[in-house]
Amino acid sequence: MVLSTFPLTAQRKKKSNANVYQPKVVEKCAYNADSLNHGPYEYYFENRIRMKGFYTNGRKDSTWLFYANNNTLILEANYKNGVLQGKYTLYKNSNPYVTGMYKMGERESKWVYYPEGGKPKVTTINDELRSFEKKSDLFTIVEEMPILEIDGHNCLEISDVKERNDCGSLNVQRYIAMIRYPQYAKENTIEGTVYVKFIRTQTGMVENISIHKGAHEVLNIAAMEHIAKMPNFYPGLTNGRPVFVQYMVPIRFKLN
């Protein structure tokens, strides 16, 4: 088993008299003989831990912890063979917000929701609640949108839901603005706009990245890679339940 650290950087091109912003992304992971993640895993953004857990032959295993920009715990989830299995707890302001159990990727038993300023609500699992875990049930707008945290813009500290959603939306735009212009595209004066679709899962991770409307292939690849490196979000919520949220964002490549 080999432990490796990979620094990944992206930068935003600014005016010539400004400093270039280079956020630092680091993955610390172990591999087995088949080059699959196997062992402890840690993900850092701007020198701050964002998630850590354990892989077994390329699949999430055991307990995984996900953190907000201010290093507070936002999600604790247990996995077995890559699927949710065991206790699942979503936190807000360091306090449990949603807690329950998974079995083979499906909710089971009773779930407890702790709404702000209200009494805990106990919900017995049923088919309607299970449907929120199916990827076919995608939302584009939810009561509490997924929140991306960036240094200096800590949205989770905002109590008003609308203002918090607006802050999260602006942080997505800020992250997109950090993209590095491909060198080949610069040298060949290639410009264009790439529309990227992706899903934020109920654990705040990005998946199902695809091109809705592309430009030059070099720009398409750069856009998809940038979205794939996006830090984990605080999950989107509907009726207190974390759900899948679909995004489509334009990424513009234009030379000065």
Contact (CB, 8 A) for 117 and 212 = no
Closest CA to 209 of 220, 96, 217: 220
Write down the mean pLDDT value for the chain: 77
Structure confidence at residue 43 (pLDDT): 79
Token look-up 């831990």 returns 49
In this predicted model, what pLDDT tens digit does every residue of 189-234 receive, in sequence order?
999 999 999 988 877 778 778 888 999 988 988 898 888 888 878 8
Above 70 in pLDDT, residue 64? yes
In sequence order, the 6+-apart residues with CB closer than 8 A to the CB of 82 are: 58, 59, 60, 61
Phi-psi region of 159 (alpha: psi -120 to 50; beta: other; left: phi over 0): alpha
Residue 169 burial (CB count, 10 A): 15
Q: 169: which 2 tokens? A: 């939306």
Q: What are the sequence ranges of the domains in the chain?
A: 2-253
Q: 17: which 2 tokens? A: 């008299």
Structure confidence at residue 127 (pLDDT): 41
- Residue 218: CA count within 13 A, CB half-sphere: 14
Q: 23: which 2 tokens? A: 């956020």
CA distance 48 to 70: 8
In this predicted model, what pLDDT tens digit does every residue of 114-144 receive, in sequence order?
766 556 767 665 443 444 444 446 788 888 8
Pairing of strands 236-238, 241-243: antiparallel
